[in-house]
Amino acid sequence: MRRTWRLCITALAALDAETTPTPALLEAWQLHQDKDVRSGSGGGSDRSL
């Protein structure tokens, strides 16, 4: 039952392009997250390219 609901929600989300991130955005987001080291002051962060 829970799996069915999850499938329905996933399908509805896929129909709504407004709420679906693009593959390039997801990739850049992941790169940003993976390399991120928050400084904790002033919103600074370190990343490796």
Partner 1 sequence: MAVRIEAFDPGLHDTKDLSCGSDSQDSFLRRTAKRQQRDGYTRLYVATDATQAGEPRACLGFYAINAHAIGVADVPADAAPRAPRSNLIPGVFLSHLAVDRRHQGKGLGRILLVDAMQQCQRAGQILGVRLMLLDVAATAGEAERARLHSFYASMGFRLLPGRPERLLISLSSLPPPAPPCGRPA
* Interface pattern 14-33 for partner 1 (x via CB under 8 A): ----xxxxx-xxx-xx-xxx
Q: Which of 1, 3, 5, 43 binds partner 1 (CB under 8 A)?
A: 43
21 phi-psi bin (left φ>0, alpha ψ -120 to 50, beta other): beta
Minimum distance, C-beta of residue 16 to partner 1, in the bound complex (Å): 8
| 3-state secondary structure at position 28 | helix
- Local structure of 3: helix, strand or coil: helix
**Minimum distance, C-beta of residue 6 to partner 1, in the bound complex (Å):** 17
- Helix (H, G, I), strand (E, B), or coil: what is residue 38? strand
**In the complex, what is the shortest distance from the CB of residue 34 to partner 1, in angstroms, rounded to a whole number?**
11
